[in-house]
Structure 1
Amino acid sequence: MPMAEIPLCVWRKRGHSFVFRGHAIRYWTAGQGEPLLLIHGFPTAAWDWHYLWQPLAQRYRVIACDMLGFGDSAKPRDHEYSLLEQADLQQALLKHLGVDTPVHLLAHDYGDSVAQEMLARHYEDRCNLASCVFLNGGLFPETHRPVLTQKLLLSPLGWMLGRAFSREGLARSFSQIFGPQTRPSESALDDFWSLVEANNGPRILHKLIGYIPERRVQRDRWVSAMQRGDVPLRVIDGAVDPISGAHMVERYCELIPSPDTVLLAGIGHYPQTEAPVQVLKHYLAFRDSLEFPPRKLACS
């Protein structure tokens, strides 16, 4: 049964703002219970979670923001964007909301890297995490396969491509990375583009794309954190994603002890919008396993 969406116009009205290092950040929160922080990907925004928002809010205190440079948040032109700063932002948001208990993370794409940084900080006693679930993202630089648009944005001419980037360019990119039967509608593409375009967003795309080389710098620290095993982890991954699909999960299983992974057949890079019912099912099963672990039988 399809899940109810939250129209973008309604979503925007429900947002709040706070100031992070002099920049206005839009955020959303709903529900009660254990805090669950949702971290979106590139080049979109927190609205990516709208199908899951209400079902998750029935069980948890869900929190999400448009990160700096994304969606309806500030997009300063003369700014050096960093995944480390985005992790600072997430922690500042939690402090702003008075969250002082361990936080669960659900992240996607670019947000996976922010979550990896927060996981590393957890083991450095700078952050307090209860669990983390990754959706399709470049957890390992050696398995990340950027699309042509990302490669061009990384080139010396990236600033020109960003200025020329359009809804049609976004549609072409998304047609390559979504599943063949789960591509976004024209209306959804309009909404995604509205969030990219807000506050002159295309002018900074070449700056935001710096997360790809930054991942390489932090790779060993982040992978070491994932290998520690004290924070429960799960990967829920669209298998046919050409960027971070089944090949990324294969690498995850090679490197992470006792890997907990779910592959979604026929689903691409945006499982939370392509297959929200499946993502919700597998996420709740993961959380239930933390609350009700399998009983071990004693032997005599």
Structure 2
Amino acid sequence: HWGLCFGGFGRPHRYSIFEQASIVEGLLRHLGLHRYGINLVSHDYGDTVAQELLHRYEHNRTGSILIKSLCLSNGGFAPLANAERFLPLPQVLKDGGLLAPIITRLMNFFFFSRGLGAVFGPYTQPSQAEYWDMWAAVRTNDGHLVVDSILQYINQRKKHRERWVGALKATSVPLHLIYGPLDPVNPHPEFLQLYKKVLPASTVSVLDDHISHYPQLEDPTGFLNAYLSFIDSF
């Protein structure tokens, strides 16, 4: 259906965190894994999807998956007051105004790689080939034309903050955060202070100070070791 999004007008679909959570549940049912306890690992957009899955699990909604643990990484689990100024994509995309479809159609590899590079650490930048792979993935089925629709998750985080932050605060599921402290989107120390204040029972792994928004890509060994230590702790 993405091919029908010409110019962003008459778009037949709107993306939402609720839908993404339902897709995860549907996939696990299809794979026959919904009967088993799942260890969730999430990042950025996926953090909020995981929060919705956790809310459903805690409220015993029909079809919800069984969650054994949740490991979050860099992402806005709770909106920071000033974090939006760090977003690499224009504010107008998030606002979904009339200019958003024009900007998405003008997006090219140069602006994409420049914006993405801003949220990687200076010593952990993707290679040119990796940038092209990411760009090819974004362009598949005209995916770049729905960036503004996908970015509505930022507004959804604010609207449903009580539901999604509340799920984290109320759960007895083991929680962990793996954090790259150089992240301009979730800046240190404000992000970490808020996380510890809201979720004092959660454990935290802070990676080296040159690791930024994509710790799983920038320091895969450190990320894996931190995750395995968390899994082995319960």
Normalised to the residue count of structure 1, the TM-score between the two structures is 0.69
Which residue in 2 is equivalent to 1:164?
106
Label 1:161 to 1:185 Cα distance change in 2 as closer, same or farther (>3 A): same
Measured in 2, the distance between the counterparts of 1:191 and 1:272 equals 17
8 A Cα contact 2:88 2:116, kept in partner: no
Higher strand share: 1
Superposed displacement of residue 229, structure 1: 3.9
Gaps of 5+ in 1: 1-22, 24-67, 70-75, 291-300
Aligned with 1:275 (options 196, 219, 222)? 219
Superposed displacement of residue 225, structure 1: 1.2
8 A Cα contact 1:236 1:263, kept in partner: yes
Q: In structure 1, the residue corresponding to 2:210 is in which secondary structure? A: coil
Q: What is the alpha-carbon root mean square deviation over aligned residues?
A: 1.9
Measured in 1, the distance between the counterparts of 2:38 and 2:80 equals 29
Aligned with 1:89 (options 23, 37, 40)? 23
Q: Which has the higher mean CA deviation after the structures are superposed, 92-101 or 135-144?
A: 135-144
Matched, 1:149 2:89: yes
Which residue in 2 is equivalent to 1:242?
184
8 A Cα contact 1:245 1:269, kept in partner: no
Counterpart amino acid of 2:145? R
Which residue in 1 is equivalent to 2:210?
266
Normalised to the residue count of structure 2, the TM-score between the two structures is 0.88
Q: In structure 2, the residue corresponding to 1:149 is in which secondary structure? A: coil
Measured in 2, the distance between the counterparts of 1:207 and 1:175 equals 22
Counterpart amino acid of 2:141? N
Which residue in 2 is equivalent to 1:208?
150
Higher helix share: 2
Counterpart amino acid of 1:253? K
Counterpart amino acid of 1:101? Y
Superposed displacement of residue 257, structure 1: 2.7
8 A Cα contact 1:116 1:226, kept in partner: yes
Measured in 1, the distance between the counterparts of 2:11 and 2:111 equals 21
Gaps of 5+ in 2: 4-9
8 A Cα contact 2:181 2:211, kept in partner: yes
How many residues end up aligned between the 2 structures? 218
Which residue in 2 is equivalent to 1:256?
199
